């Protein structure tokens, strides 16, 4: 039973880590968008 | 513009509903697997089969989708195909990692060893390494990295039939391709439900990743346009 739980638990952790990494990429894109917005602001 | 807003909202709502349904399904899979009948020879550890096989199927599907996108990029210059290839290769690496972890756990209990250089195991490892190489070529390959990676994706796709059929050509420890078709009736429902839910999870992750990649491409185009505009104004 331990091996079965380990196998399924690992899949959960792997998917969670992947989603977290994608989330980090989204945060980076949002930061770049904000940076661009500041640059195109009138008077910037 | 205004007319498209409700449909965009509907599309986002259905996307979120799809994510929620997949997550609920992913939580329910262990319940189905727990109630599946015990296999006589291996006992409880055989239940890893319900997660290991869907992950292996998704590794192969990801490779084919990656190769399809790469073909579209190489021969038609499709940027969308290139993005699809990149995102599916990432998912191939993810589900390949799951195969490489769940398989040895099952092998340790069933065969007494975590790893043996059986043809199915070795060819699967090669396939997974090819997808990792694809990702590395994309990241560090420089100007020609995208084309090099696309060619590697076609090479990886050629390995998929070898992975699948190897167990029929070379006798090894790994079960052959008739295992799924010869499942006991009580095992079919949990297996195919698990396969369906894992595939849905793959679809949701691919859609999410494609959205991020599309946003990244648009952002890169915008950054270039802003830089050009800034240079002109100087």
ipTM: 0.87
pLDDT of residue A43: 62
Q: What is the pLDDT of residues B70-122, one digit of tens each?
A: 999 999 999 999 999 999 999 999 999 999 999 999 898 888 889 989 888 99
**Per-residue confidence at B33, pLDDT binned at 50, 70, 90?**
confident
pLDDT of residue B180: 75
pLDDT of residue B133: 96
- Kindly determine whether residue A39 and residue B226, on different chains, have CB atoms separated by under 8 Å: yes
What is the secondary structure of B58-81 as a DSSP string? Answer: HHHHHHHHHHHHHHHHHHH--HHH
- Kindly determine whether residue A36 and residue B226, on different chains, have CB atoms separated by under 8 Å: yes
pLDDT of residue B8: 56
How far apart CA B103 and CA A11 sit, in angstroms, is 12
Tokens, residue B79? 């940027």
**Per-residue confidence at B3, pLDDT binned at 50, 70, 90?**
very low
Report the domain count for chain A: 1
Of A11, A22, A25, nearest to B98 by CB-CB distance is A11
pLDDT of residue B230: 77
pLDDT of residue B99: 95
- Kindly determine whether residue A10 and residue B109, on different chains, have CB atoms separated by under 8 Å: no
- Regarding predicted confidence, which is higher, B42 or B190? B190
Q: What is the pLDDT of residues B146-189, one digit of tens each?
A: 999 999 999 999 999 998 888 777 777 777 777 777 778 888 88
How far apart CA B3 and CA A16 sit, in angstroms, is 36
Chain B residue numbers with beta carbons less than 8 Å from the beta carbon of A38 are none
Does A22 contact B at CB distance below 8 Å? yes
How far apart CA B140 and CA B138 sit, in angstroms, is 6
Number of A–B residue contacts, CB under 8 Å: 65
pTM of the predicted model as reported, rounded to 2 decimal places: 0.87
- Kindly determine whether residue A18 and residue B44, on different chains, have CB atoms separated by under 8 Å: no
Q: CA geometry: angle at B104 spanning B102 and B109, to 5°?
A: 100
**A40 is in which domain, residue-wise?**
1-44
């Amino acid at each position: 039973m331990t091996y079965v739980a380990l196998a399924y638990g690992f899949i959960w952790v792997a998917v969670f880590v992947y989603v977290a990494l994608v989330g980090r990429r989204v945060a980076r894109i949002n930061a770049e968008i904000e940076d661009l917005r500041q640059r195109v602001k009138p008077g910037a | 513009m205004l007319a498209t807003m409700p449909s965009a909202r509907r599309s986002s709502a259905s996307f979120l509903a799809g994510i929620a349904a997949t997550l609920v399904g992913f939580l329910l899979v262990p319940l189905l697997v727990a109630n599946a009948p015990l296999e006589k020879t291996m006992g409880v550890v055989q239940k890893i089969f319900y997660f290991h096989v869907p992950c292996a199927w998704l590794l192969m599907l990801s490779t084919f989708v990656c190769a399809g996108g790469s073909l579209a990029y190489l021969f038609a210059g499709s940027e969308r195909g290139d993005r699809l290839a990149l995102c599916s290769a990432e998912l191939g690496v993810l589900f390949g990692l799951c195969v490489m972890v769940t398989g040895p756990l099952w092998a340790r209990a069933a065969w007494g060893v975590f790893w043996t250089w059986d043809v199915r195991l070795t060819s699967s490892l090669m396939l997974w390494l090819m997808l990792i190489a694809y990702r590395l070529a994309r990241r560090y390959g420089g100007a020609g990295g995208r084309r090099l990676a696309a060619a590697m994706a076609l090479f990886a796709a050629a390995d998929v039939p070898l992975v699948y059929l190897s167990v029929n050509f070379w006798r090894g420890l790994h079960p052959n391709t008739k295992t799924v078709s010869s499942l006991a009736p009580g095992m079919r429902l949990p297996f195919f439900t698990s396969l369906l839910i894992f595939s849905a999870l793959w679809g949701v992750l691919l859609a999410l990743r494609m959205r991020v990649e599309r946003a990244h491409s648009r952002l890169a185009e915008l950054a270039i346009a802003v830089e050009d505009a800034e240079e002109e104004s100087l």
